[in-house]
Amino acid sequence: MLPEHHAILNLLEGGFSNLKILVVGDLMLDRYIFGEVDRVSPEAPVPILRHARRYARAGGAANVAMNLAGLGCQAYLAGFWGSDADQVELAQILEAAQVDTLGVVSTPLPTICKTRIVGRNQQLLRLDIESRDPHPQLDIDRLQQRAVELVAKVHAVVLSDYAKGALTQPLCEAVIRAARASGIPVLADPKTPDFSKYTGATTVCPNLHELAAATGMPAHATAEILASAPRLLAEHDFDFLTVTMSDKGITVLNAEGSFHSPARAREVFDVSGAGDTVIATLAASLAAGLTVNAAVELANLAAGIVVGKVGTVPIASYELVAQLTPSSGVSSGAKILDLERLTNRIAEWRAAGETIVFTNGCFDLLHVGHITLLEDCHRFGSKLVLGLNADSSVCRLKGPTRPIVGEKERARVMAALASVDAVVLFAEDTPLELIRVLRPDVLVKGGDYTVESVVGHEDVLAHGGRVQIVPTVEGFSTTNIVRKLTVAHAEELVR
């Protein structure tokens, strides 16, 4: 389980939406062309790709902004793009994700575009469209002015450097100075061995090869490279270094020592954009007040998700929620949700392809019949939501002596079960309104019912769900337990 697990879930389920984060750097359009290769050209010894599909994604600093938007943040973007078809396509992608591009400056140079031609998941060729000419000084000045102005509106800044000319030393210095004056973190993704232009940043996030270049050491000398961190920290006034180490995970280095987050075991398809995901998740986490260690653990988890996809694909909050909420890995308190948080979590589960099962009951004294019912429920889907009658509801249904166990304690007991993924209390006599809001894929009822007699069956069937009836375990009920205890107590008094 991640540190600050409950706080992280709160952020993923709405807390990040309160954050505004600025990304300044080199914007790109990543285009992918896929097809099949089954022969070589008779004109030249090159493979012939038979086109199957194509798509485009935001790349470079624009991909960092897309990751922030995927986490739920309001992302502001500042950089350069041209006035061409690639700019139009990139702008449409960013607009669809609600990324604010008012900080982007149009220049006479073309929009940077990288086209990857892929046959059977093997990249055959990459075509880069970009100019090596410097941006006009007027545009450079305009970008710096816009970036500095945006710093006052945000909670964190990311400098996404792909060495394409957007992040000049004066711009970096001005942005870092403004951010530090506002007391907000600045994170830099370097693409140069000279870290001096990032001096004063909260953290710099190089990969191991980039850190090796910055220290002048051979890339294979990992221990020596990491040992050089104190010198870089002191020289450039960084709070800490965040080093991505490919399949080894992420290491944080500061004046007190180091913290290592090992890579999450996962099949790797494409590492494109993983660094963008890491720095975006770190920025959002630090801006939200998470500790550095918790932020790095979450960033590592996010990177593990995106490398399992083909191409530059940003992280989405629902993917992290799905990873963080397996029944066996969540504390009972984190499973007890109010209706608003539950609807958000169900939306995230659904986006991740989960099947939502719902059942309900009083569950006053937990017994084997309850356990069997819940285990049967979980077999009908991947996420089980339990609607639990509140004390007032139990009292109306069962009589003035019930419940024996209060609603808060019952909720904690039920949430502690591995088969239960979420618990929500309801005060009504039936869960009908709850079912209508949650729209479960499967509605389960235990006992001697027919589908037509189950409360909410019409609503579930109407939206394409199904209703399941499971038999109860004979001889087990809270009423029987109470009766036995009463008889035993009476016999004890007689003695």
- Are residues 343 and 320 both part of a single domain? no
Active site residues: 276
> Model confidence over 181-233: pLDDT tens digits?
999 999 999 988 899 999 999 999 999 999 999 988 888 888 888 888 888 99
pLDDT digits (tens, 9 = 90+) for 425-439: 999 999 999 999 999
Secondary structure of the chain as H, E, C letters: CCCCHHHHHHHHCCHHHHCEEEEEECEEEEEEEEEEEEEECCCCCCEEEEEEEEEEEEEEHHHHHHHHHHHCCEEEEEEEECCCHHHHHHHHHHHHCCCEEEEEEECCCCCCEEEEEEECCEEEEEEEECCCCCCCHHHHHHHHHHHHHHHCCCCEEEEECCCCCCCCHHHHHHHHHHHHHHCCCEEEECCCCCHHHHCCCCEECCEHHHHHHHHCCCCCCHHHHHHCHHHHHHHHCCCEEEEECHHHCEEEEECCEEEEECCCCCCCCCCCCHHHHHHHHHHHHHHCCCCHHHHHHHHHHHHHHHCCCCCCCCCCHHHHHHHHCCHHHCCHHHHECCHHHHHHHHHHHHHCCCCEEEEEECCCCCCHHHHHHHHHHHCCCCEEEEEEECHHHHHHHHCCCCCCCCHHHHHHHHHCCCCCCEEEEECCCCCHHHHHHHCCCEEEEECCCCHHHCCCHHHHHHCCCEEEEECCCCCCCHHHHHHHHHHHHHHHHHC
Does residue 329 lie within any of the structural domains? Answer: no
Q: Are residues 402 and 266 in the same domain?
A: no
CATH number of the domain that 284 lies in?
3.40.1190.20
Mean pLDDT of the 451-468 span: 94
Section 240-257 average pLDDT: 89
Alpha-carbon torsion (165, 127, 275, 348), positive or negative = positive
pLDDT of residue 494: 55
Q: Is residue 399 part of a domain?
A: yes
Annotated binding residues for ATP, written as ranges, equal: 207-210
pLDDT at 317 over 90: no
Same domain, 463 and 317: no
- Tokens 């937990």 correspond to 366
The answer to whether the Cα torsion of 259, 264, 269, 273 is positive or negative is negative
Binding site as annotated, residues:
207-210
**Is pLDDT at 480 greater than 70 in this prediction?**
no
Shared-domain flag, residues 39 and 143: yes
Are residues 415 and 290 part of one domain?
A: no
355/307 same-domain check: no
Please give the tally of structural domains in the chain. Answer: 2
pTM metric for this prediction: 0.73
Domain final residue pick, 324, 353, 371 = 324
Top-ranked range on mean pLDDT: pick from 115-129, 150-164, 302-316, 362-376: 150-164
Which domain covers residue 469, as residue numbers?
A: 339-484
Q: Is residue 269 part of a domain?
A: yes
Domain identity same for 261 and 393: no
User: 272 and 167, same structural domain?
Assistant: yes
Within-domain flag for 490: no
The pLDDT value recorded for residue 490 is 54
**CA distances (Å), origin 466, targets 29, 342, 381, 441, 469:** 44, 21, 11, 6, 10
pLDDT for position 485: 58
Quick one: 307 and 348 in the same domain? Answer: no
Domain assignment present for 438:
yes
CA geometry: angle at 132 spanning 129 and 135, to 5°? 105
What CATH number corresponds to the domain at position 476? 3.40.50.620
| Domain final residue, candidates 324, 349, 374 | 324
Q: Would residue 168 count as lying in a domain?
A: yes
Q: Is residue 112 part of a domain?
A: yes
Are residues 380 and 234 part of one domain?
no
Domain end, chosen from 289, 324, 359, is at 324
Identify the band that residue 312 occupies on the pLDDT scale cut at 50, 70 and 90: confident
> Does residue 372 share a domain with residue 261?
no
Quote the tokens at residue 448: 């001697």
Q: Is residue 131 part of a domain?
A: yes
350 & 319 share domain: no
